[in-house]
Amino acid sequence: MTNRDILKGSCIGVVFFLLCFTPIGGSSLEAVDTEISDSCRSMFCNEYQPSIYFSQNFNEPPSGGNISGPLYGRPGVNYTFCITVIDPEADDVFCLWDWGDDTSSGWLGPYASGVEICATHAWSSEGVYEILVKLKDSYGAESEWSDPFTIVIDGTPPDVQILKPKRGFLYLWDKPHSMSQIFTIIVIGPITVVVSAVDSGSGMLQVEFYIDNELKGKDYTGENNTYSWRWDERVSLFPYTLTVIAYDLANNSASISIRIWKIF
């Protein structure tokens, strides 16, 4: 056995003694001979590098996907919104909904991780509202607020007017001829019915055209707030009721009807 082996053994023994048997607050290190300590320190540090690892389990908060639900609604009507939640540790999840009208759901739950959580709410007034969601697990780890989901609450129906045909006109194959002496509408041949429909709340969805309560056509385009339908059905001379119903995106509706004499 070489002197180096003896020294190495001494170093390990010294280090073991200091680590295992030195009382807390003790001064045993000072009692070790300086030369041996320096040699042991050099050898121990060079050949026996200790690896000390500290590990701690962090409880991460749950996360959610995007909020889903209707984009438009009417006052006083309940609407349902959903979000899928996942907790990294598969803990149970609680959900808090902020409805954007100074009210909230309070903490709802618990729910299992990985499920879709849904809640309903009704707004009392027209307006644009931002819905937010916050999540927390059963150990209290909270997420940040979600990205906002916007809903428009609109209770006002569209403004609708029939631009063509008009009372006091005779229409010959879609061309108007003024007849001030009559107060009705006479149509001979096909005619294009033109309607103006405007909604300043949620916006327009569609206009429907009815003849004697039978749906004949729909128009979703609304170019320049005008909607049209071509009435080219051949009919006998008779008075018919043309009804137009305009819908906005919140499903509010307004209607208007006129009486038309038509042939061919």
Half-sphere exposure at residue 135, Cβ-oriented, CA atoms within 13 angstroms: 31
pLDDT of residue 180: 79
Mean pLDDT confidence for 137-143 = 97
CA–CA gap between residue 77 and residue 74 (Å, rounded) = 6
Q: What is the pLDDT of residues 31-87, one digit of tens each?
A: 334 444 454 445 444 554 555 444 556 899 999 999 999 999 999 999 999 999 999
For the domain covering 159-263, report its CATH number. 2.60.40.10
Q: Cα–chain-centroid distance for residue 53?
A: 44
pLDDT of residue 181: 80
CA–CA gap between residue 154 and residue 157 (Å, rounded) = 8
pLDDT of residue 49: 52
Does 3.40.50.2300 match the CATH number of domain 63-153?
Answer: no
Q: What is the pLDDT of residues 217-241, one digit of tens each?
A: 999 999 899 999 999 999 999 999 9
pTM of model > 0.85:
no
Please, what is the angle between helix 34-47 and helix 3-21, to 10°? 90
